Amino acid sequence: MTVQISRSKRLILENTASCLAVACDEGEAGDVFAPGPLSDLDAALGGELRKLATAEKFKGKKGQTLSLTTLGKIPSQRLLLLGVGPRADVLAHDLRALAGRAVKSANGFGCPSLALVAPTSLSTGANAMDGLQAAAEGALLGGYRFDKYLAEDKRTAATLAQIDLVGFEGDDAASEAALARARNTATAVARARDLVNEPAVAMTPTILANVAEGLAKAAAIDITVLGLEECRKENMGLFLAVAQGSAEPPRFIHMAYKPANAKKRIVLVGKGVTFDSGGLSLKPNEGMLDMKVDMAGSAAVISAIAAVAAEKLPIEVHALAACTENMPSGTAYRLGDVLRSKAGKTVEINNTDAEGRLTLADAITYGLALKPDQIFDFATLTGACVVALGPHIAGVMSNNKPLADAWLDAAKAAGEEMWPLPLPERLTDMLRSEVADMRNTGERWGGALTAGLFLKTFVGDTPWVHVDIAGPATADKDAGHTSKGGTGFAVSTILTYLRRIASV
């Protein structure tokens, strides 16, 4: 990201950026022109702004936009008003999507610079710094593109080089800290997006492990990468069964960030299936098309731990990813195979497309040996979760209510949509096998839950949160601060959550 971002203390009319974007609270009685920055702007424009806003029915409603040229009456050539909704409802994290939209518009206009003005509701008080951080994150991510495989002349170059955030009042140290967090978060989210957006041929288990090694080397992170033989020694029978159908060798990635002053030990497990064809239970073309996304969980944890180390958070963090392809071949694992997990439990395979839970179960068992205070897993695990919650919301399952609540609260502040799902004990019956301790899939209904229940049997009593990101790991179109393709989902919540437990 070459764009520079900083806080500006200038008054609204003193900003000379080529695009001026103003976040507007929905005015009382629909009037956004109560005395304040916007009425100053209106005066400078000779009252034209108010007339236009009235004609266009711009009231500052959430999501409403008004875009105009200023015809040289103020230094900025482009003016953009962006509604944030009623004052009482405005949340700092709303500014992520809003700043993303401002950046997308400014790039669309070909502007080299953008000044984004805070809504009055977020310009002062404790919220101002959260607002500044959210706006900076959204602005930095709003310009994200993955166009490395396009011909030079097909790339729509981002024109923005400088972004100023205006009207967020706070002392310099607090605002610099907020901007540093935003830059670190945006870098980590963009990196996770890149890993997901690479086609599977360019993001094999080996390549992903190399990326992880590069990140570890650049930070204070230890890394161990286990190959096939080492995984055999670790008795990872479930993970290796999935891997045996692929010509690509598996890689088990273990990154460890261990600061001297650690307050807690956290294990983050990410699903790392670099391509999911379904195996012998082969997916139809439609269902396979996007399956390079199936390593999004591992992208999130690998990228997030690098950001944690960069911020020097006083938390010990381990990122684990059992990376493999799931392929059909003469060596592929079969339906009816009975496998022995690292934990010792046997599993009968009744669908080779339910491979994620197998790789995760062995990774979780490996993680529990590290004796963490809490363990999280992130996985594009089930289509059923997308059916249940739609494409934008992750499903959260847990064996520990207070931990799940703390996690969901962090998600809210991070601007990522997550929702709790139950782990109904009686559905465990669906996983019963006649020949093994359990089978790997349940029946048709409740697929997200039976996947969660399968993992739960491997977790034991350690406080655990399972996040099914099958929907939100990718987006089908550009919107707000996200772009079509990988979203880097979960990185922002991981960082928000870890910052919170680091500061108590």
**Active site residue ranges:** 283, 357
Q: Which of 276, 316, 348, 416 binds ligand BES (CB under 6 A)?
A: 276
Q: State in angstroms the smallest separation of the CB of 381 from ligand BES.
A: 6
Q: Which residues between 275 and 294 bind Mn ion (CB under 5 A)?
A: 276
Least Å distance between CB 80 and Mn ion?
43
Footprint on residues 344-363 left by ligand BES (CB under 6 A): 351, 353-356
State which amino acid sits at residue 269: V
Query: Which is nearest to 496 in space by CA: 205, 283, 182?
Result: 182
Count CB atoms within 10 A of the CB of residue 329: 12
Query: In the complex, what is the shortest distance from the CB of residue 361 to ligand BES, in angstroms, rounded to a whole number?
Result: 13
Q: Does 276 bind Zn ion (CB under 5 A)?
A: yes
Scanning residues 293 to 312, which ones bind Zn ion (CB under 5 A)? Answer: 294
Residue 353 engages Mn ion in binding (rule: CB under 5 A): yes
Q: Quick one: tokens of 399?
A: 């064996």
Q: Which stretch binds Zn ion (CB under 5 A): 3-11, 62-70, 286-294, 448-456?
A: 286-294
| Contact between residue 488 and residue 189 where contact means Cβ atoms under 8 Å apart | yes
Shorter beta-carbon distance to ligand BES: residue 175 or 380? 380
Can you name the residues that pair with 255 across neighbouring β-strands?
223, 319
Among 195, 221, 384, 449, binds ligand BES (CB under 6 A): 384
Q: Count the residues in the chain.
A: 504
Residues 118, 131: contact at Cβ < 8 Å?
A: yes
H or E element at residue 44: helix 37-44
Closest CA to 94 of 480, 473, 407, 419: 480
By CB under 6 A, residue 447 contacts ligand BES: yes
Distance in Å, CB of 356 to ligand BES, minimum: 4
Residue 336: name the closest of 286, 280, 387, 392 by CA. 280
Give, as ranges, the residues between 126 and 165 that touch ligand BES (CB under 6 A).
none
Ranked by CB distance to Mn ion, the top (closest) residue is 353
Q: Which of 116, 269, 470, 494: binder of ligand BES (CB under 6 A)? A: 470
Among 382, 483, 487, 492, binds ligand BES (CB under 6 A): 382
83 vs 205, beta carbon nearer Zn ion:
205
Minimal distance, residue 468 CB to Zn ion, in Å: 11
User: Which span (126-134, 351-359, 395-403, 412-420) binds Mn ion, by CB under 5 A?
Assistant: 351-359
Distances in Å between the Cα of 6 and the Cα atoms of 16, 141, 413 are 14, 15, 22
H and E: helices and strands count for the chain: 15, 19
Work out whether the CA dihedral 54, 60, 65, 71 comes out positive or negative. Answer: positive
Closest distance between ligand BES and the C-beta of residue 386, in Å?
6
For 89-149, the DSSP string reads G--TTHHHHHHHHHHHHHHHHT-SEEEEEPPGGGSSSHHHHHHHHHHHHHHHHHT----TT
Taking residues 334 to 373 in sequence order and writing x for each that binds Zn ion by CB under 5 A, - otherwise, the string is ----------------------x-----------------
* Residues at the site binding ligand BES, with contacts judged by CB under 6 A: 276, 293-294, 351, 353-356, 380-384, 386, 441, 447, 470
* Residues at the site binding Mn ion, with contacts judged by CB under 5 A: 276, 353, 355
